[in-house]
Amino acid sequence: MKMYTVSQLLSKNQFGEDVEIKGWVRTFRANRFIALNDGSTINNIQCVVDFENTDEVILKRITTGAAIHIKGELIESQGKGQSVEIAVAHLDILGDSDPETFPIQPKKHSFEFLRENAHLRTRTSTFSAVMRLRSTLSFAIHKYFNDNGFYYMHTPIITGSDAEGAGEMFRVSSLDAKNPPLNDEGKVDYKQDFFGKETNLTVSGQLEAETYAMSLGKVYTFGPTFRAENSNTSRHLSEFWMIEPEVAFMDLAGNMDLAEDFMKYVLKYVLDHNREDLEFLEKRLLDEEKTKPQAERSEMSLIEKLNFVIDNNFKRVSYTEAIDILRNSKPNKKKKFNYIIEDWGADLQSEHERFLVEKHFKCPVILFDYPANIKAFYMRLNEDGKTVRAMDILFPGIGEMVGGSQREERLDVLKEKMKALDIPEEELWWYLDLRKYGTAVHSGFGLGFERLVMFATGMTNIRDVIPYPRTPQNAEF
């Protein structure tokens, strides 16, 4: 007898074979029908128990959440919506699940409740679909870069520099936090710390990726990054995964082309490989939409949105053009957008970004050439002396998905910028070396993986697309 997965059995069209399967009970109806799932697909397989010839003690132990082992014959299903089922010949309970206390009951649970049970939430259809999609997306990302001549680089998690210069780092220290050693000036003596200096968890692998791009040509990192920003929003995590390609001899226009091509590829990949999960999530969203007033309902379904992004060009707009659009659009309080924008030079707020993407262009937008003073120190200064070759890619329903730039490759200009921002040269001597020895135009970007998973799944809270979310005041699991 052969062991199968649910996915394998559901795609069979020949009957009569004796098969074996292991999984978890989703529901058990009428002392007869087990809906069994093993994670291999969104769908359950129906296993029909011959209850008259089954021990009553065993029947009682077939409860939601229990792990079971079934042997039986694969037969054509009489039921609707399924082609095959198993006529159970033998059933073993591998692990009981007390129906009185098992939190995941066969009913709709709120996402808040499921977050408190993050260790069990993938026993639900929604979360198993989301996490399968997350896995497929990760694979597609590696595949895209591998197919396009990029090398995968592992950038360090513990670093001595602040790549973004935003001061949002988690300190890594072996010193006694309550009683740290002090130096002659009465300050914490980091020379006595584990690494002999102050260190943090990385906020981005970009600077290290730049060093490798300047020898291997095309590289990318895909790893966890950490930000101690106190943003309790549905789009921010303290620990998130970032994809960061970096390419030598590529300018900002090439960077835009790469980002757009890459995103279209990975979204197409999940459409082609996780259709059933997407269809399930789409249906869930459509049901949710029905509870909303007509005016607030989404114009497109999940799969339509994905296809739309794949089939249409991203709109490329300079910051200055965007400011003009915002200035010329009337505030509309009813729709909750507040477009009143300050002078040229101000950073765009999320409501401005949402207006541009969701109301004005109605498609992904690449904003570029931002004012230098609202962007990071390493971005290439334009000839106008006031804007930098930065790009942000904004997505409907998500906001900022990608942040990237052409990097400042001129040693003197970079040094001047660091001086103006009080970034000590000693800290980034190795970064400056790249500009001393064989410097060249190069560019890259960072894509927040969880925001991509949100877009691909239609989930609206970033805490629901990562197995164990880290947010302020929350690291339960």
Per CB under 6 A, 455 contacts ligand 4AD: no
Site string for ligand 4AD, 148-187 (x = CB under 6 A): ---------------xx-----------------------
142, 232, 270, 433 from 463: Cα distances, Å? 23, 11, 21, 40
The one-letter amino acid code at 77 reads S
The structure tokens listed for 104 are: 């995941």
By CB under 6 A, tell whether 445 contacts ligand 4AD.
yes
Tell me the pairing of strands 33-37 and 442-448: unpaired
Residue 62 contact partner, candidates Mg ion, ligand 4AD, none, CB within 5 to 8 A by sort of partner? none
Q: Is 450 in the site for ligand 4AD (CB under 6 A)?
A: yes
Residue 394's identity, in one-letter code, is L
Q: Tell whether residue 400 is a contact of ligand 4AD (CB under 6 A).
A: yes
CB of 320 within 8 A of CB of 369? yes
**Other C-beta atoms lying within 10 Å of the C-beta of residue 26:** 17
Q: How far is the CB of 341 from ligand 4AD (least distance, A)?
A: 20
Integer Cα distance of 45 and 6 in angstroms:
6
* Measured CA angle at 223 (ends 41, 455), to 5 deg: 50
Q: Does 72 bind ligand 4AD (CB under 6 A)?
A: no
The residue from 23, 446, 458, 469 that contacts ligand 4AD (CB under 6 A) is: 446
Place of tokens 């020379």: 191
Q: How far apart are CA 39 and CA 346, in angstroms?
A: 48
Residues 225-264 close enough to bind ligand 4AD by CB under 6 A: 227, 229, 236-237, 240, 242, 244
Rounded to a whole number of angstroms, the CA Rg of the chain reads 27
- Which span (26-34, 294-302, 378-386, 402-410) binds Mg ion, by CB under 5 A? 402-410
- Closest by CA to 274, choosing from 121, 9, 457, is 457
Which one, 37 or 406, has the nearer CB to Mg ion? Answer: 406
**Does residue 403 belong to the site contacting Mg ion (CB under 5 A)?**
yes
Shortest reach from residue 457's CB to ligand 4AD, in Å: 15
User: Rounded distance, CA 232 to CA 474, Å?
Assistant: 11
Picked from ligand 4AD, Mg ion, none, the partner binding residue 448 (CB below 5 to 8 A depending on kind) is ligand 4AD
Interaction site with Mg ion (CB under 5 A): 403
Interaction site with ligand 4AD (CB under 6 A): 163-164, 204, 206, 227, 229, 236-237, 240, 242, 244, 400-405, 444-446, 448, 450-451
